[in-house]
Amino acid sequence: MNQQTVTITDNRTGKTMNCPIKTGTEGASVIDGQALYKELGLFTLDPAFLTTASCESKITFIDGEKGILLYRGYPIEQLAEHSSYPEVCYLLLYGELPTSDQMEDFKHTVCQHTLLHEGLVNFYKGFRHDAHPMAMLVGVVGALSGYYPDAMDISNPEHCNKSAIRLIAKMPTIAANIHKYLIGQAYVYPRNDISYVSNFMQMMFAVPSETYQFNEIANRALEVMLILHADHEQNASTSTVRLAGSSQAHPFSCVAGGIATLWGPAHGGANEAVIRLLQEIKTPKNIPEYIRRFKDKNDPMKLMGFGHRVYKNYDPRAKIIRKICHNLLQELGTQDQPLFEVALELEKIALSDDYFIERKLYPNVDFYSGLILKALGIPLNMFTVIFAVARSVGWIAQWMEMTEDANLKIGRPRQLYIGNKRRDYVPVAKR
């Protein structure tokens, strides 16, 4: 069969070129425009990547129109129901679900790397007592690269795998230590005899003077949250990790860049912003006034947890989270039911409002996730840190995939220059 192409004609010169169309296993095909500059002397302009695929990937697939999310082909709904976070980590990293032996080996290997170098633990003391946990996370994960100069060769798969394992193992310890540091409690060291999620919980909430009581319902809720946030193809933070990684920098410093990107309210910071918004709205009777503000172009306020660059339908993760949230609040009997009621009513009103309908704005993963984290006793400013713990496997899996590309080149976008043309320097006395 002939190669399918798109013909581009430069109307200024009449020159044409045929760009190949590449088709993947699912989703939209792409125009391969890599030869565009060579053939026509043109770049494409797409600052927010609205129509630009930045790489080929086998890891995660999203159909934003239909609300589908697959990790390595497996639907997120099935993984959320049947899988565990470590199993999802294995799947994302190595492409297949593990056998039970492979799973045991993987869990054992991860357990061997949960401790932090004590030098890194001391590093925490340099932060202010009121530092934002995400500021600390960016710093500590960046600093982690200083402790592992032995795994710098990105062309060596063993080095890459070691970095992946270290990151997945240490992220809960790093995150829990941030929480403990900020509330002035003793760090709780990791336990290798319990599950990944139970260990994370006990590092977050145990105190040396008492025996920690595990709660299976809470553990499962956190496990599902980690699964749902584990990867999301080429989002802003993952693209940051890949771009930084394309220069062959240390993987942990690349991940620190991803964490910095995740922090913003347009990305992972939205889970924290949603709760602040729900607390501000307070009661369903105030919703209409807020809806008016969300729609007002002169008012910067947005309905946090709504809208998505890719999903023009209900985010499949939000559907799962909404259900868990409902069950969790009932099971734990927390004080958060009124906030959940506000969220449900807000969703209902927004989904029947023309502004949101026309723009295809639906709840995203962050709309209900904050309520779950709050019910688990996690403080608001730690929400995005939990997201980062979950997403670390996605970042490192995408980074590993990139390092395996035999044609890896440094990422280097071009620009449309709109500044001054060449001009001569004017001595200060003549300005």
Cβ 356 to ligand CMC shortest distance, Å: 7
Encoded one letter per residue, x for contact with ligand CMC by CB under 6 A and - for no contact, window 288-317 reads: ------x-------xxxxxxxx--------
Q: Is 81 exposed, middle or buried (0-12, 13-18, 19+ CB in 10 A)?
A: exposed
Nearer to ligand CMC, 173 or 239 (CB): 239
Q: Count of CB atoms within 10 A of residue 377's CB?
A: 13
**Residues in contact with ligand CMC, shown as a per-residue x/- string from 398 to 417 under the rule CB under 6 A:** --------------------
- Where in the sequence numbering do the catalytic residues fall? 308, 366
Secondary structure of 351-400 in the HEC alphabet?
HCCHHHHHCCCCECCHHHHHHHHHHCCCCHHHHHHHHHHHHHHHHHHHHH
Residue 429's Cα: distance from chain center in Å?
52
Pairing of strands 74-75, 60-63: unpaired
Beta carbons within 10 angstroms of residue 430's beta carbon: 5
Q: Are 202 and 191 in contact (CB under 8 A)?
A: yes
Rg of the chain over CA atoms, in angstroms? 24
Q: Which of 257, 197, 221, 225 is nearest to 398 (CA)?
A: 257
Does the footprint of ligand CMC cover residue 266 (CB under 6 A)? yes
Q: Select 40 or 342, whichever has its Cβ closest to ligand CMC.
A: 342
Query: Considering the complex, what minimum distance in angstroms separates the CB of residue 175 from ligand CMC?
Result: 17
**How is 397-414 classified by DSSP, letter by letter?**
HHHHHHHT-TT-------
Which residues 6+ apart lie within 8 Å of 142 measured at CB?
252, 253, 256
Q: Which helix (H) or strand (E) holds 253?
A: helix 251-262
d(CA 156, CA 147): 18
Size of the site for ligand CMC (CB under 6 A): 19
Least Å distance between CB 262 and ligand CMC?
A: 7
Asked whether 261 and 320 are in contact (CB, 8 A), the reply is no
Which of residues 32 and 345 has its CB atom nearest to ligand CMC in the complex?
Answer: 345
Minimum CB distance to ligand CMC smaller for 200 or for 294: 294
Per-residue binder mask for ligand CMC (CB under 6 A), 320-359, x = binder: ---------------------------------------x
Least Å distance, CB 358 to ligand CMC, is 9
The answer to whether 277 and 304 have CB atoms below 8 angstroms apart is yes
Q: How far is the CB of 235 from ligand CMC (least distance, A)?
A: 6
CA dist 391 and 32 (Å) reads 29
CB 174 within 8 A of CB 140: yes
Residues from 189 through 218 that contact ligand CMC (CB under 6 A)? none
Cβ-based nearer residue to ligand CMC, 35 or 266: 266
For residue 340, CA distances in Å to 293, 300, 374 come to 21, 24, 11
Nearest CB to ligand CMC, comparing residues 96 and 299: 299
Q: Do residues 220 and 332 make contact, with C-beta atoms less than 8 angstroms apart?
A: no
- CA–CA separation, 431 vs 195, rounded Å? 69
Binder among 140, 206, 270, 388 for ligand CMC (CB under 6 A)? 270
Q: Find out whether 69 and 317 touch, Cβ atoms under 8 Å.
A: yes
Q: How far is the CB of 396 from ligand CMC (least distance, A)?
A: 17
d(CA 127, CA 136): 7
Output the smallest distance, CB 236 to ligand CMC, in A. 7
Q: Which is nearer to ligand CMC, 108 or 348 (CB)?
A: 348
Give the residue with the Cβ less far from ligand CMC, 190 or 257: 257
Using the contact rule CB under 6 A, the part of the chain among 36-44, 220-228, 262-270, 285-293 near ligand CMC is 262-270
8 Å CB contact between 219 and 332: no
State the binding string over 217-246 for ligand CMC (x if CB under 6 A, else -): ------------------x-----------
The single residue among 204, 321, 365, 397 that binds ligand CMC, judged by CB under 6 A, is 365
Residue (199 or 235) nearer to ligand CMC, CB: 235
- Residue 308 CB, shortest distance to ligand CMC, in Å, is 5
Which residue is closest to ligand CMC by CB? 307
Among 220, 267, 293, 319, binds ligand CMC (CB under 6 A): 267
Minimum distance, C-beta of residue 359 to ligand CMC, in the bound complex (Å): 4
Q: Summarize as ranges the residues that interact with ligand CMC (CB under 6 A).
A: 235, 266-268, 270, 294, 302-309, 359, 361, 364-366
